[in-house]
Structure formats: C-alpha cells, structure tokens
Structure 1
Amino acid sequence: MKILFEYNWEVRDEWLEWCKKLSPEELMKKRTGGVGSILKTMFHIIDVEISWIYAILEKEDFQPEYNDYQELEKVVEFSKMYRDEMREAVLHILKDPDAHLYIPWWNQTFAKGVILRHVIAHEIHHVGQLSVWAREIGTEPVSATLLNRKCIS
C-alpha cells in the first residue's frame, strides 16, 4: 500500500504542475461530474486524504474551507504542508492494518487497512475525472501508469 500512496502523491504533484498551464478561470470552471471544478477536485483529494488518515490516528479532524484555497498556489501548498505527516502516518498505520476503528460519520467500524485502500481508490477515481476534463479542454492528461515511476524504482 505504501507504493500506491507514493504513486498517488507523485501523480498528484504532476497534476498540480499540469494545472499551472491553465488559467484561473479554466481551473475554477464548473464541470460535469466530480466536485465541480479542476481546482476544487484537487483540493477535495487532499482534504479527504488528510481527514481519513486523521480519523485513523484518532486526531481531531479539521474542516478546511475551499473558499480559503481558491488559488492554485494555495492548493499546492496545502498538498505539500501535510505530505510528510501523511507519509509517516501511512507507515505507522501499516504496522497494524487489521486494527479496527469506529468512523462516526459512517456509523461503522472498519479495519485501518481497508480505510487506507479506500483513500487510495478515492484519489485514483478523481484522477480519472481529471483525465476526462483534460481531454475535453484539448490537453494531454497526466499519465496514470504505475510503470517507470519513481515510487517503484
């Protein structure tokens, strides 16, 4: 699972770099599907990752407001700000992935490893949406291949 988190982070960084080619208007344009726009989707990916991992660590969740991150540079910083903490947390959680945790907003108990897999799948799902939007605006999407990536070398 560690490799898949590293993969998601590597791909996310490439998407954030790809976003720099777009105007602020294009980044914030309302789109069909996802959470509404390219920028809001990038924010959402990061926010969800942090929220779930904080839940696993039984840390208090925070609710960042998208309105505070309506510039690409702020979303890039948001991603960077928590990366080291997320990396350490994933390694810690992987020591006991079968431990269970009650998630109040789902009113259910899940194994921590299952939650990590959910977080991985969530980001991959949204990357697929970004890829469709990239093609709709006539640009090449970031490659989704796992092969030949730094995370596996």
Structure 2
Amino acid sequence: MINMFQYNWQIREDWFKWCETIPYEELTKKRMGGMQSIIHNLFHVIDCEQIWVNQMQGTSVIIKDINRISSLNDVKSFSNLTKPATESFIKSHTSESEDRTLVVKSRNGTTNSFSFDKIITHILSHEIHHIGQLSVWSREIGLKPVSSDLLFRDLI
C-alpha cells in the first residue's frame, strides 16, 4: 500500500513542478469538472487524504477553506504538513488493522461503516482520478501533462 502512496506523492510533486511553469491565471482559471481549477484540484486530494487519515487515527481533522487557497505555495505547504501523518499511519497499518472500520455520518444524516482498507483504497484512487483531470486540463491549454506511468517510476 505504501508504494501506491509514494507513487501518488511523486506524481503530486511532479504536478507541483509543472504548475511552476505556467501562469498563475491558468492555475486558478475556472474549468469544467473536478474542483474547477488546477490549484483547487491539487488542494482537494491532499485535503481528502488528511481528512480520512485523521478520522481513522481518531485525531483532529485540519479544517481549511478551499476558497482561501489561492497559491501553489499554499497547496505545497499543506501537502508538506499532512504527508508525514499519512505516511506514518500507512506504514503502521497491519493485517490486524485490516478489519477495523470507521463509522461516518454523511451530510444527509445517514450513517455508513467503511473498512480501513476500503478507505485507504479510496484515498489512492481518488487522487489518481483527480490527477487524470489535471492531465485533461493540461492538454486543453496545449501542454504535455505529467507522466503517470507507474512502470517507469522508482518506488521504494
């Protein structure tokens, strides 16, 4: 599991570098789908990761207003803040904890129970999904997207 998180984090870092090469207006431009901008898409995957991990750990969720995220540095700082907790949690996840569940109440009041493994898989696929949106948007502005080819990435 940790290899897939490392994969996502490598891709995320590559997108941060990619973002440094384009004008601020392109990073914040309202787009169709996803979280409607490159900056907000990147923030969203980090935010969701920390929300789920903190809930599974029973620790406080960091509350950030996506509308106050206005720069790439805001997003990079948030990633640097939250990634160590995720990494520590994932590395400590054992076969004994596979059966642990998290009960969450949705906005509409229904209650759901999810296994930790299902939540971890969701976190991984959620980031991959949003990274795909970034790839589409990069092509729309005439730029080559970050390669997400797993086979040619060195993972620890």
Shorter chain as denominator, the TM-score bin is over 0.9
Q: Is the 8 A contact 1:93 1:112 kept in 2?
A: no
4+ residue runs over 4 A deviation: none
Q: Which residue of 1 aligns with 2:146?
A: 142
Give TM-score scaled by structure 2 length: 0.92
In the superposition, relative to structure 1, how do residues 2 and 25 fare at CA in structure 2: closer, same or farther (>3 Å)? same
- In the alignment, what sits opposite 2:128? 124
Could you tell me which residue of structure 2 aligns to residue 77 of structure 1? 77
Following TM superposition, by how much is the alpha carbon of 1:24 offset from its aligned partner in structure 2, in angstroms?
Answer: 1.0
Matches within 5 A, 1:31-46: 31-46=31-46
**Partner Cα separation in structure 2 for residue 94 and residue 151 of structure 1:** 20
Task: Provide the rounded CA distance (Å) in 2 between the counterparts of 1:61 and 1:107.
Answer: 19
Q: How does 1:3-152 map to 2 (within 5 A)?
A: 3-95=3-95, 96-105=97-106, 107-152=111-156
Percent identity for Structure 1 against Structure 2: 38
For structure 1, list consecutive stretches of 5 or more residues without a partner in the other structure: none
Decide which moves more: 40-49 or 79-88.
Answer: 79-88
For the Cα contact (< 8 Å) 1:4–1:120, is it kept in 2?
yes
1:49-104 residue CA offsets vs partner (Å, 9 max, x unmatched): 00011111111223211233211111111111121111001112345122112122
> Root-mean-square deviation (CA), in Å?
1.3
TM-score (norm 1): 0.94
Quickly say closer, same or farther: Cα 1:94–1:130, change in 2 above 3 A: farther
SS in 1 for 2:123: helix
